[in-house]
Amino acid sequence: MHLPVMLNEVLDFLDLKSGDTVLDATLGGGGHSKEMLKKITPGGMLLAMDADPAAIDRARENFKDFTGSFKLVNSNFRRLGEALDREGIDKVDAALFDIGISSYQMDEGARGFSIKNPGPLDMRMDPGQKISAKDLVNRLREEELSDIIKDLGEERFHRRIARAIVERRREKKIETTDDLASVICRAVGGRRGKLDPATRTFQAIRIAVNDELGALRGALEQIVDRLKTGGRVAVISFHSLEDRIVKNKFKEYSAGGFIKILTKKPVRPTDAESTDNPRSRSGRLRVAERI
C-alpha cells in the first residue's frame, strides 16, 4: 500500500491554490500528486514525471477524475527542463521531489530492489536502462565495489563485503537479491540490531545503478530557474547523502539571492506517521521559496 510521506506538511508548505501550475518530479505511487490536483483544480495543471513507466500507467488510471488537468511524462527528473519545455510550461508555482524508491517498487520482487521480496538482481527504476544491479555486482573490480558500498551506502564493512562478492562470483554469477543478501550476511556475520546487514549495500548499489545523486544535483540546478517568484520547491529525502545535497544546494542558491529557505532544519514525520508508515521514519523535508 502506498502512503505519501509527510503529505500534510508538503501541502501546507506548498500552499497551493486553484489555477496553480505544479511539477511533481517524482510521481511514484501518485499519492502526493492526487492531493495536489485537488488543490489546484479547477484551472490548474500538474506535470508529473517518473522514470518508471509502471508509475505513469497507474497514474493515468488513478487520475481519471482530473482529466485535462494533468500531464504525465515518462522521464527521469534530471530532464525536468526538457519536459517543461516540451509541454510549453515556462515556470511553475510549486515543485515536489520525493527522492528514492516507491512502495510499489519495493514490494514487487521482480524489480529486484528489496531484500525481503526475492527476485532478480535488477534495481533499475527505468526498466529500459541498459545497466542493472546484476551487471555492476558481477563486473566491477573489487576496489570499485568497495568504493560504491562505502561512499553511497556508508557501510563500515565495505572492503569485507566487496571481497566476498568477488570471491563468490568466481564460483558462480550473483543473479538474485537472495544471492547477494546471503553473500553479505556471511561476510559481516549476520544481523546486528534492527537493520538487515545487507541494507546499506543494497542502497549503495541501487543509487549507483540509477545515478540517483547525480540526477538529484542536476534537477536542483534546473528547478530554481523554473519557479515563479514566490514559487516553492519541497524536497523529501531519505538518507544523509541526499539530504546533504539538498541542504548545500539550498544554501548555495540562498547565498546567491535566488531563494529563501523556509525550513531552518529538515522537517521530520510525526510520531503518529512513523508508527502508521514505518517507511516514512527516515524522511527529511526541506522547502525553499523563489525570491
CA 285 – CA 266 distance, rounded (Å): 5
The reported pLDDT for the residue numbered 107 is 67
Residue 5 has pLDDT above 90, yes or no: yes
116: exposed, middle or buried (C-beta count within 10 Å: 0-12, 13-18, 19+)?
exposed
7-104+212-290 fold = Rossmann fold (3.40.50)
Q: What is the pLDDT of residues 210-226, one digit of tens each?
A: 999 999 999 999 999 99
Q: What is the pLDDT of residues 176-209, one digit of tens each?
A: 999 999 999 999 986 666 778 999 999 999 999 9
Specify whether the backbone of 75 is left (phi greater than 0), alpha (psi in -120 to 50) or beta. Answer: beta
CA distances for 75 relative to 53, 63, 105, 261, angstroms:
9, 19, 16, 28
Q: What is the pLDDT of residues 233-290, one digit of tens each?
A: 999 999 899 999 999 999 999 999 999 999 999 999 999 998 988 888 889 999 999 9
Please provide the DSSP assignment of 239-285 as one string: SHHHHHHHHHHHHHHHHTTSEEES-SS-B---HHHHHH-GGGTT-EE
Q: What is the pLDDT of residues 64-77, one digit of tens each?
A: 999 999 999 999 99
Q: Where in the chain is the domain with CATH 3.40.50.150?
A: 7-104+212-290
Given a contact cutoff of 8 angstroms between Cβ atoms, the answer to whether 188 and 130 are in contact is no
Residue 1 has pLDDT above 60, yes or no: no
CA 130 – CA 133 distance, rounded (Å): 10
Q: What is the pLDDT of residues 134-177, one digit of tens each?
A: 999 999 999 999 999 999 999 999 999 999 999 999 999 999 99
The residues with which 261 forms a beta bridge, in sequence order, are 288
Q: What is the pLDDT of residues 95-118, one digit of tens each?
A: 999 997 777 677 677 787 888 888
Q: What is the pLDDT of residues 80-92, one digit of tens each?
A: 999 999 999 999 9
Q: Where in the chain is the domain with CATH 1.10.150.170?
A: 111-210
111-210 fold = DNA polymerase; domain 1 (1.10.150)
The reported pLDDT for the residue numbered 193 is 67
Given a contact cutoff of 8 angstroms between Cβ atoms, the answer to whether 125 and 210 are in contact is yes
Report cis status (omega within 30 of 0) of the bond before 4.
Answer: no
DSSP 24: E
CA 121 – CA 161 distance, rounded (Å): 17
